[in-house]
Amino acid sequence: MSEPPESAPTSWPERFAEGDANRIALAALLGLSSLTPRRLLKLAARHGRADAVLAAVRRGGASSEADRDRARDIDGERVLATAAAAGARLVATGESEYPAALSDLFDPPAGLFVRGGDLRKLHLCVGMVGARNASADGREVAADIARGLAAAGACVVSGAARGIDTCGHEGALAAGGATVAVLGSGIDVAYPRQNAALLERIAEAGAILSEYAPGMPAEPFRFPARNRIVAGLACAVVIVEGAAGSGSMITADHALEIGRDVFAVPGPVTSELSQVPLLLIREGATMIRGAADLIADLGLESPLGDAAAADPAGLLLAPGEPALSDDERAVLAGLAGPSTTESLAGVTGLKLPRVLAAVTTLEVRGLIRTRGGRHERRARMG
């Protein structure tokens, strides 16, 4: 991804969407599928106001033939009414609710359809993205980091896709925090469909955003565009998992282009899902081991206090949870990686029955798990 030519406009005219006529025209323009923000920016620079741009498109020559024909039929008032029926409103560039952070983008959206709370009340947003077909470990880590961020007062921004996105939203909600979903479809189109209930919860606790008019289907080319908004809203972006060429890398590129901090969670070098995080770390992204690392790097106050610094991997016990026994601490300390019961006995010096007893208790408390006959740590909020 490269910067636009110096002659390309990157900001909207001051009064582009001012007044009812221009808001109605903007709603119509956002319903034209091939009129990208970059193209719309050029037209805005030439014509000044949304209603003038719409008139130019309807005359022909300012966009595709399909958009010209559609622009002649589309009714901006009907678009706004459809959005309102879905519980959404249009937040246009130049309005006080429009997120100022989006002005850092080379092609900021002209407007956003919004469901949920006032965008001005969302502070310290952190983006989280990763693989749709995420691993069990990746999903667990994503949810844990999101819980930690929400508990520390940050808002988690993601794209409501399967996998890491879903776990990020759910983790923030589980901690009673705010989260924002940026859609690659119209504001009234739940995608994927299985996340419809999750989107309702997000709208109640935070907000759902889309730069696309109601009814716009989710199509592959919309997701990279969606990713730039995730990066633009955030002060930092966390990459949990991602294969080469995935949307995770696209989001990281957008973040780096506009000066956002990028954090990455390392994974096994043999895993395809580790390719993007490991590449980013190699190229200078900050490696984090869990929620505590990220909270410290962002300068947030840990919900668990100073003790979090002693456990950056996120294995701290929740307040009021019983302390670990000496055997349990020894077993946790010995779990540098997946380990058999026998190997733990050798590492800790404990007899096998004591290791088995400690392992059983740690599993019950959710601190470790056993897969394929090997024990491994589980992430905990920190």
Domain CATH for 357: 1.10.10.10
The answer on 131 and 112 residing in a single domain is: no
The answer on 259 and 237 residing in a single domain is: yes
Domain end point (choices 67, 91, 116): 116
Would the pLDDT of 269 be above 80?
yes
Block residue for tokens 């879905």: 86
Mapped onto helix, strand or coil, the DSSP state of residue 84 is helix
Give the residue from 279, 243, 277 showing the smallest Cα distance to 131: 243
Domain end point (choices 116, 142, 167): 116
Interatomic CA distance for residues 241 and 265, integer angstroms: 7
The answer on 251 and 110 residing in a single domain is: no
Q: Residue 181 pairs with which residues in a beta bridge?
A: 158, 208
The pTM (predicted TM-score) of the whole model is: 0.82
pLDDT band at 366 (very low <50, low <70, confident <90, very high): confident
Does residue 35 form part of some domain? yes
Give the residue from 134, 216, 199, 147 showing the smallest Cα distance to 177: 147
Interatomic CA distance for residues 18 and 166, integer angstroms: 36
- In the chain, the amino acid numbered 217 is P
The answer on 65 and 42 residing in a single domain is: yes
Q: Residue 207 pairs with which residues in a beta bridge?
A: 116, 180
- Name the H helices within 180-283: 196-205, 222-233, 247-257, 275-282
State how many domains the chain has. 3
pLDDT the model gives residue 312: 43
pLDDT band at 314 (very low <50, low <70, confident <90, very high): very low
Among 163-167, 173-177, 321-325, the least confident range: 321-325
The answer on 266 and 159 residing in a single domain is: yes
Domain with 224 in it = 122-310
Does residue 6 form part of some domain? no
159 within 8 A of 182, measured Cβ to Cβ: yes
Would the pLDDT of 191 be above 70?
yes
